[in-house]
Structure 1
Amino acid sequence: MTLTTAAPPSSRRHGSDPLQLRVVDVVQAAPDVRTVVLAALDGTRLPSFTPGSHLVLTCGQRLNAYSLTGPALEPSTYSISVLHQRTGRGGSAWVHTQLRPGAVVTASLPRSAFAPVLSARHHFLVAGGIGVTAMLSHVRAALQWNRSFTLLYSYRPGHGAHVQELRRLRGQRLHEVHGRAATRRHLQEALAGQPLGTHVYTCGPSALIDTVQQYAAAAGWPAERIHAERFAVDELPPGEPFTARLTSSGRAIHVPSGTSLLEALEAGGVAVPSRCRQGVCGECRLSVRSGRIEHRDLYLSTEERTANDSIMACVSRGAEETVEIDL
């Protein structure tokens, strides 16, 4: 018997139209970690994405961003793995309790603020706990395009999400460590011994990210070769105070440490549209006339960040004393 297979449907999407996705599988990836596999509701292939991309899901009344862990080129499905944050704001609980095979969800097109630097001589990937989800697409792309890389994965024994998959993909490039002390020892040695032209990428708890940045700086790494993605807005440091000057009135809005620009504007009676308050939806995007920005969002692309002409008021901050906002 001969089977004739039709050509795959088009994967094109127009503009920023949201995706309608159906849950086709749910797998327990580790204790408290659920992997959800999503397919297009209309049966088409899904848009390709850049390694390090995330998908913003509408989780009930919230919007939450989750790293895409599967293949990046015209995939038939998207996969996300979500840790149940029992003290979180409800997004992970919604994924764990509401998403079952057959459920339909709305999502944005994939976006990446954590893409690999293609000119890098070597990619040193560092993952802590559920931060490994941001690294899986990096690993897949590096293998597909024969890029040099190693992955350090720090996790609690028995809680390593995707560790078996990573071992199968390329075990000799994977270094597994357990415990803070062992992680620090391995990081200090590894960061001091990487070849010139290496870029380091970290995703995980703030303490891990801070340690990587500290050790890399001590080893003489240029700042532009150190990349990090924090996986929860709750973990963002308070930041330095700054002043937002509004172009329409010349009014100066003081933004204290630990207070977002959005909160300071609202306290001053300035209305700004907002939705997620986590830097994922783009609703509170404001134009910047002058002043450097410390970008903390998961919405802007690398090119948009480099342009330094926008700020996500809910999470990002001024990187100098005064920032001029087009309001």
Structure 2
Amino acid sequence: MVVAGVSELCVGVRAIELRDPEGRVLPSFAPGSSIAVQLGDGSRNSYSLTGPGRRPDHYSVSVRLDDRGRGGSRWMHDRRIGDPVTVSVPSSAFPPVLSARHHLLVAGGIGVTPILSHARAAAEWGRSFEVVYAFGDGGGAHREELERLSGGRLTVCGSRTALSEHLDQALLDQPLGAHLYVCGPVAMIDAVRRAALAAGWPAARIHAEAFTAPELEPGEAFDARLLGLGRTIRVESGTTLLDALLAENVPVPNLCRQGVCGECRVGVRPARGAEMAGIEHRDSFLTEEEKGRGDCLMPCVSRPRGEILELEL
């Protein structure tokens, strides 16, 4: 892929358009999909696609500059037209439920990117939807496009308090069979989820994708037994299981490295005995039921509670 366009959307947010250098049509994708972009140091970051998903001639991503991050956003902001960029095929862990009678789309900050994709598809296919968009001073990337797509069904909130006050009533006004989709910072997602549950929403109709990960404790060191390979790998405090596996050349697919996308999910043997005391799930991808089964984890963020973890690898 090559960079075909760069534009400033608002303070600190840049839209980047990628095209096939030969002009070929790109793989289609579902709303809420993302691509993994290979950065200059060989690592990868995941970015939501914001453009049309059916037989696209380009992929568009919007990147917020984060000087406190690992450098991926800076690398993306430094791209210029004509620069080559290596990306994965699109994948989605945040798709719409096509049987929903109504789609309530809630975005916070740069979390607007997958929400825009949802709104675009809903408008194209004539599905019932509305958008609630919260952002602070200088924000509001893609606001004009959302206004055009939503046809008067966009509510803008300038603060977390305004968002909460609006949702208190909006969550009660939704038709039976509506689904809620929320993307943004973890704290915002948690607040919206709590409000929805308190308003009587079934958990199965609440869908979320976090765009910032909470700071995690380093955790205790442990041994990871790879049952299929007959190996044991030591994972030190402050090192993720995913990083330890990759350092030992154990291939594990991964994208976001924040416990959000679900790409790195691995199976584990259920805990038994004092040394295998279960899993400290730190991701926002698995459901509570899946976490309760204790047969898988996201190695990019989660750790065992005991000294040993047995992996189906």
Tell me if the contact between 1:273 and 1:283 (Cα under 8 Å) persists in the aligned partners.
Answer: no
Say which is worse superposed, 84-93 or 308-317, in terms of deviation: 308-317
SS of aligned partner of 1:227? strand
In 1, Cα distance between equivalents of 2:16 and 2:248? 39
Supply the AA of the counterpart residue of 2:29. F
2:198 is matched with 218
Q: Check if 1:181 corresponds to 2:166.
A: no
**Alpha-carbon contact 2:36-2:255 (below 8 Å) kept:** no
Name the CA distance, whole Å, in 1 between partners of 2:143 and 2:185. Answer: 18
Counterpart-to-counterpart distance in 2, 1:141 and 1:318: 40
Alignment of 1:307-326 (within 5 A): 311-316=297-302, 325-326=311-312
Cα pair distance change 1:150/1:261, threshold 3 Å: same
Which 5+ residue runs of structure 2 have no aligned equivalent?
A: 272-277
Alignment-derived partner of residue 214 in structure 2: 235
CA change 1:79–1:271 in 2 (3 A) is closer
Q: For the Cα contact (< 8 Å) 2:65–2:74, is it kept in 1?
A: yes
Distance change in 2, residues 1:129/1:247 (3 Å):
closer
Partner of 1:88: 69
Distance change >3 Å, CA 50–CA 296, structure 1 → 2:
farther
Counterparts of 1:27 and 1:151, CA distance in 2: 24
Find 1:168's aligned residue among 148, 151, 157.
Answer: 148
Matched residues in 2 for 1:193 and 1:288: separation? 42
Q: Secondary structure at the match of 2:127?
A: coil
SS at match of 1:144: helix
Aligned match for 1:155, one of 120, 135, 140:
135
* Aligned residue number for residue 9 of structure 2: 29
Q: Is the 8 A contact 1:56 1:281 kept in 2?
A: no
- Would the alpha carbon gap of residues 229 and 121 (structure 1) be closer, same or farther in structure 2, given more than 3 Å must change? same
- 1:104 and 2:84 correspond: yes
Measured in 2, the distance between the counterparts of 1:125 and 1:239 equals 34
Provide the secondary structure at the position in 2 that maps to 1:127: strand
| 1:108–1:295 Cα change, 3 Å | farther
Question: 1:196 is matched with which residue?
Answer: 176
2:120 matches 1:140? yes
Q: Residue 312 of structure 1: CA displacement?
A: 3.7
What SS does structure 1 have at the residue aligned with 2:86?
strand
DSSP 3-state at the match of 1:164:
helix
After superposition, the Cα gap between the structure-2 partners of 1:73 and 1:176, relative to the gap in structure 1 and judged at 3 Å, is same
Of all paired residues, the percent bearing the same amino acid is: 47
Q: Is the 8 A contact 2:93 2:262 kept in 1?
A: no
Tell me how far apart the structure 1 counterparts of residues 13 and 105 of structure 2 sit (CA, whole Å).
21
Structure 2: how far apart are the matches of 1:244 and 1:176? 48
CA contact (8 A) 2:46 2:256 kept: no
Which runs of no fewer than 5 residues in structure 1 stay unpaired? 1-20
Residue-pair matches, total: 296
TM-score by length of 1: 0.76
Deviations, residues 175-198 of structure 1 (Å, cap 9, x unaligned): 111012111101222112222211
Give 2:54's aligned amino acid: L
Counterpart check, 1:117 vs 2:97: yes
Give the corresponding residue for 1:8. none
RMSD (CA atoms): 3.9
AA partner of residue 100 (structure 1):
R
Q: Relative to structure 2, which stretch is displaced further, 39-48 or 308-317?
A: 308-317
The code of the aligned residue for 2:155 comes to H
Structure 2 length normalisation: TM-score? 0.79
Aligned equivalents of 1:226 and 1:236: distance in 2? 24
The answer to whether the Cα contact below 8 Å between 1:290 and 1:325 also exists between their aligned partners in 2 is no
Q: Distance in 1 between matches of 2:149 and 2:255?
A: 35
CA distance in 2: counterparts of 1:140 and 1:308, whole angstroms: 37
1-structure distance, mates of 2:217, 2:104: 28
